[in-house]
Structure 1
Amino acid sequence: MAHNPSDSDNEITTTKRKLFEHDIHQVLGGREVADVLLWRNKKISAAILIGMTVIWFLFEVVEYNLVPLLCHISITIMLVLFIWSTMAQIFKWNAPNIPDIILQDYLFEDLATIFHRGFKQLLPMLHYISSGIDLPRFLLIIVSLYMLSVIGTYLSFVNLLYIGFLCMLTLPIMYERYEEEINNLVGNVLVDLRKKYKQFEKRYLSKIPRGSVKEKKRT
């Protein structure tokens, strides 16, 4: 039976699937950190965003060094707490308390779990892609890493960290809201790359001469 070229196209098209096997909330840990990254708790997410923006501003614009910045922040916090505590004793106000959410162990455990899960999934995926089984995705990763390296030469480490932090607070919520559209877009890109690779393989790779493997005759 003759092979129909459209069959391979249909086979490629059917390979489109979701970027993540589970819900994005579960991918991010399914706990309070995921709620923060998905803006389920808008006050905390906004406070973290503002705090990181202030830190970025102090490092990049004001050009603070790390040690003086930490010392000045500590001095400011201690002065505020001292004044607040003194005024609370005089006017019978409530004394300042550190929010319980900052002291919870699970926040750090969730962050560690997210990074561990990410590396655990990333390394086997890179090994699989590097094996040459999926050449279009391999080329896509190589080009993406090269573009990232070029961008990194023009940005400082603090700027890259801040951009990465902004991506953490924006990309998950964008994916959750527009999951179907993003899946379709990424799927179409991958399908297009696979089609171009099939054409490249048919025109060039298939014409490369290969030595024939002769089966040994049994005596």
Structure 2
Amino acid sequence: MGNSHQPRRRSVHQALGGGFVADLLLWKKRTGGATLLVGATALWFVFERAGYNVLSFVANVLLLLVAILFLWAKSASLLNRPLPPLPDLEISEQSIVKIAVVMQEWVNYTLSIARDITVGRNWKLFLQVALGLWFISYIGSLFNFITLVYIGVILSLTVPFLYDKYHEIIDEKLCRAHKAIQALLLRIDSNVLKMIPLTSNKEKKIQ
């Protein structure tokens, strides 16, 4: 009876939006996941191992596409065949509004963090942000942009799938790690607060 009043836990599929992207990342659409993995691996191999330049690759692909469409349209007019089926590609105003809302939320969140660090003097948040930025900088020094994107694709296709399968074990480990980090931050915060009155007392004695 007591369990009936507890809130239901959101599934990983719901947390990812519950749409096509969620099905893709959780390998519910195996063909799409395999295509994304093979495509990302092929692009990474072309750019990293074959030494191909990103700009020249995009230009050559677009050039090939334009040439195919041009020859198709010319041959269609000569042979009385249908023209290439090109859809009307337009970005709706609703899509622009959604993107703007998401960007506004991220910018406001970043500004709120900056305010808590500078005005609120939140030492815990400062240490978390500094550690996160240092970690990103360290990872960026080990890999270039293309490799980082490829690693991001691999993680996107593995982490949600593994978490959905072993979420109970992972939640337990993350809870222990979170408690240990919180205890460490509290210890650091208390040490910083202890240092402030000591310095002020020394100044009074000197005066």
TM over 0.5: yes
Letter in structure 1 aligned against 2:184: K
Partner residue, 2:80: none
- Structure 1: 5+ residue stretches without partners: 1-20, 83-97, 212-219
3-state DSSP class of the match of 1:208? helix
Q: Distance in 1 between matches of 2:140 and 2:18?
A: 32
What is the CA–CA distance in structure 1 between the aligned matches of 2:179 and 2:113, rounded to whole Å? Answer: 18
Q: Name 2:153's counterpart in structure 1.
A: 165
Check conservation: 2:124, 2:189, Cα contact below 8 A. Answer: no
Distance 2:107 2:179 in 1: 21
- The one of 104, 127, 149 aligned to 2:112: 127
Report what 1:180 is aligned to: 168
Query: Is 1:155 aligned with 2:143?
Result: yes
After TM superposition, the structure 1 stretch with the greater mean CA deviation from structure 2, 45-54 or 124-133, is 124-133
**Aligned length in residues:** 165
- Measured after TM superposition, the shift of residue 152 of structure 1 is 0.7
Deviation sequence 1:5-28 (CA, Å, 0-9, x none): xxxxxxxxxxxxxxxx84322222
Who is 1:140 aligned against? Answer: 128
| Equivalent residue, structure 2, for 1:208 | 196
Q: Higher relative contact order by CA 8 Å / sep ≥ 6: 1 or 2?
A: 1
- Residue type of the partner of 2:27? W
The answer to whether the Cα contact below 8 Å between 1:38 and 1:169 also exists between their aligned partners in 2 is yes
Alpha-carbon shift at residue 50 of structure 1 (Å):
0.1
Aligned to 1:215: none
Give the SS at the match of 2:28: coil
- 1:91 maps to what in 2? none
Q: TM-score, normalised to structure 2's length? A: 0.61
Using the TM superposition, give the Cα deviation of residue 67 of structure 1 relative to its aligned residue in structure 2, in angstroms: 4.5
Find the counterpart in structure 2 of residue 5 from structure 1. none
Which structure has the highest helix share of the two?
Answer: 2
Q: Is the 8 A contact 1:29 1:114 kept in 2?
A: no
Over the aligned positions, Cα root-mean-square deviation in angstroms equals 3.9
TM-score by length of 1: 0.58
